[in-house]
Amino acid sequence: MKKLIIFTDLDGTLLDHYTYSFDRALSALQLLKQKNIPLIICSSKTRKEIEYYRRKLDNRHPFISENGGGIYIPQKYFEFGVMSSELRVIDESDYQIIRLGAKYSDLRKAVEELQKDGFGVKGFGDMTVEELANIANMSVDEAEMAKERDFDEPFIFDGSKADEQRLLETIIAKGFNFTQGRFFHILGDSNKGKAVSILIDIYKRKFGEIITIAIGDSPNDIPMLEKVDYPVIVQKPDGSYDQRIKVPNIIKADGIGPDGWNKAISKVIVIPRLDRGIQSKGAGFSGQARE
């Protein structure tokens, strides 16, 4: 049987949009542990933020930070020779790190240029810890972790739709890219999909044939969803699905955030032959739609 690998977003997906709780996903999380199924966090959050949630989740698997800017693989997680020699790996005491993102200092410089150009942008680097905590509904400690960035700068924008379009075009003209989750993000030539592809290749070297699933809720998850066998999205707090996510064969989980996450994962895990079961049983999700 093929090895199942699951990639997941955090905010609004595994974590509740308002409380950052994953309590409603506990039963599915326990099933993953029992069956030894790797759960790979792939988030816009920073390394420190993800480490905080990995401790709460007792998660020992690799993770992807800041919208694909960095891949963190725990030391000795993969045996020698599994990782491609073409990858540029930075060795630290706790992790082997693959850096894909831009330098944070370059991103901050670009934000400052946008401000001088007259755009109403305000990055995390422009905010005090207290201000960020209030805007993002975080504790002060969480806001401090969110400000310790390496590859990606989230920002808020105050302007019209036309101004927004000009802003995004200007970001591209400056040689950077953008994405959007809860906030706008300016980043370099990296995204969740590129990072996920690298890890998928490594897992294939380890296990041979694998089946991949990714779960998200926002446009910044699109590159990740496009790279897996079975892309899943959960509902937004108002019960809708983000209409900007247009990925072939998308599976729509029946539930908001961690509730939808729990239902989707629970049903996936109990399918006896996942590679045939999803196709033959309408995605294997009762009460869920597939486009």
In 3D, which of 125, 109, 106 has the Cα closest to residue 117?
Answer: 109
CA dihedral over 99, 103, 107, 113, signed as positive or negative: negative
Q: Which residues contact 122 (CB under 8 A, 6 or more apart)?
A: 155, 156, 157, 158
Catalytic option among 9, 11, 16, 152:
9
CA dihedral over 95, 100, 103, 109, signed as positive or negative: negative
DSSP 15: B
197 near 224, Cβ under 8 Å? Answer: no
168 near 178, Cβ under 8 Å? Answer: yes
Our answer to whether residue 141 is catalytic in this structure is: no
Catalytically annotated residues = 9
